[in-house]
Chain A
Amino acid sequence: MNDRFNLYRFASPATFYPLAGKMIPWFVAAGILFGLAGLYVGMLVAPTDFQQGEGYRIIFIHVPTSWMSMFIYLVMAFWAAIGLAFNTRLSGMMAQALAPTGALMAFLSLWTGALWGKPMWGTWWVWDARLTSELILLFLYIGYMALVAAIDDARRADKAGGILLLVGVVNIPIIYFSVKWWNTLHQGSSVNLTKSAMAEVMLWGMLLMALAFWMYSIAVALARVRTILLERERHTEWVRKELAGGEQ
C-alpha cells in the first residue's frame, strides 16, 4: 500500500463517510476555540477605530463571512470541475453540501454590510460594484440549489449544477477586485500582504474570527455531506450496513 493508493481511497464514499464523521468534532472544537479567542481579542481587547468609533467592530464578522462566501464558492467550483472532468461521485455531493453554508455566508456578509453601511455611509444599501456583485453571489448560490433540487436524477443534477458553478465563478474576481476596478462607496481591502491598514490587535481578532468561520463551515459541510452520502448511496452494501448498525 503506497501513499498514492491511500489518497484515492479517501475519494471512495464508503471510506470518506466514517472519516468525515470522525473529523467533525475536531472542527467544532477548533471553531469554538478560535471563535472565543477572536471574540475576546476583537470585542474586548482591540481599541476603538479613530475614524469609525466602535462601529468598526462589525468587521470581525463582516470580513470573515465575506471571505467565506467567496471561498466556499471557489471550493464548490473546484469540485464541479473535478466532477465534470473525472465523473467522480463525491464531487457533486461536496458541492451540494457546501451550497447552503455558502449562501448563509453571503447573506451574513450583506446583512452585516448593511448594518455597517447605515451608520457610516448613511444608507443600508447602494447599487455599487462591491455590494451588487456580492448580491449576485447570493443569487448564484440560491440558483445552484434550486437547479440541483429541480432535477430528479442526482448525476444529471450534479452536471447541470456544476456547469452553473463554473460559469458563475467569473463573479468571484469581480467581487474581489471591484473596489479597485470601480469607484465604489465600499472601502478598499482591510488586509494587505505588504502593509495592512489595520492595527495589529484588530488584525489578529479578524484572522482568529476568519479561522473560526472556516472551521464552522467545514464542520457543517461535513455533517451535511454525510447525510447526502447515505441518501445517494442507499442502494450500496456499506450504507445498508451503516443503517443496520443502529446509525443515529
Chain B
Amino acid sequence: MIYWNSFSDFLAMGGYGLYVWGSFGVTALAMLIEPIVVARNRKATVARLKRQLRAESRSTEA
C-alpha cells in the first residue's frame, strides 16, 4: 500500500525534497501560528472588555 521503500526515500522526494518540504513546512507553520494568534487576540480582547466593564460599573456606582 505504501509507495515508499524507505524513510530516506520519503524525505528525499526524488530530489524535490527542498521544494516539497518547503511547501508543506511553511503551510504547517502558518496553520499552527494562525490559531495561536487568534486565541491570543481573543484572550487580550476579553481581558480588555472585562476591565472596561468593571471600570464602567465602578463609575456608575460612585
Chain A residues with CB under 8 Å of chain B are 43-48, 53-55, 57-58, 61-62, 65, 100-101, 104, 107-108, 111-112, 115-116, 118-119, 216, 219-220, 223-224, 226-227, 230-231, 234, 239-240, 243-244, 247-248
Instruction: Return the CB mask of B6-48 against A: 1 if under 8 Å, else 0.
Output: 0000100111101110111011001100110011011101100
15 A-B pairs in the complex with CB atoms less than 8 angstroms apart: A45-B1, A53-B16, A55-B13, A55-B16, A61-B23, A107-B30, A111-B23, A111-B27, A112-B27, A216-B31, A219-B35, A223-B42, A230-B46, A234-B52, A248-B43
Number of B interface residues in the complex (CB < 8 A)? 32
A223, B20: Cβ atoms under 8 Å? no
Chain B residue numbers with a CB within 8 Å of A216 are 31
**Known pairs A57-B20, A115-B19, A231-B45 / 10 extra A-B pairs, C-beta < 8 Å:** A44-B4, A45-B3, A48-B14, A53-B16, A57-B16, A61-B24, A111-B27, A226-B42, A243-B46, A248-B43
A244, B15: Cβ atoms under 8 Å? no
Chain B residue numbers with a CB within 8 Å of A119 are 16, 19
A230 to B47, CA, bound (A): 11
Q: Which of A45, A53, A107, A223 contacts B35 (CB 8 A)?
A: A223
Q: Which of B19, B30, B39 contacts A104 (CB 8 A)?
A: B30
* CB-based A-B contact count at 8 angstroms: 95
A118 to B20, CA, bound (A): 11
Residue of A nearest to B48 (CB): A231
Chain B residue numbers with a CB within 8 Å of A43 are 10
A212 to B7, CA, bound (A): 25
Min Cβ gap B58→A in Å is: 14
A54 to B50, CA, bound (A): 53
Chain B residue numbers with a CB within 8 Å of A224 are 38, 41
Min Cβ gap B48→A in Å is: 9
Min Cβ gap A77→B in Å is: 22
A53, B52: Cβ atoms under 8 Å? no
Q: Which of A47, A111, A220, A234 contacts B38 (CB 8 A)?
A: A220
Chain B residue numbers with a CB within 8 Å of A116 are 19, 23
Chain A residue numbers with a CB within 8 Å of B49 are 230-231, 234, 239, 243
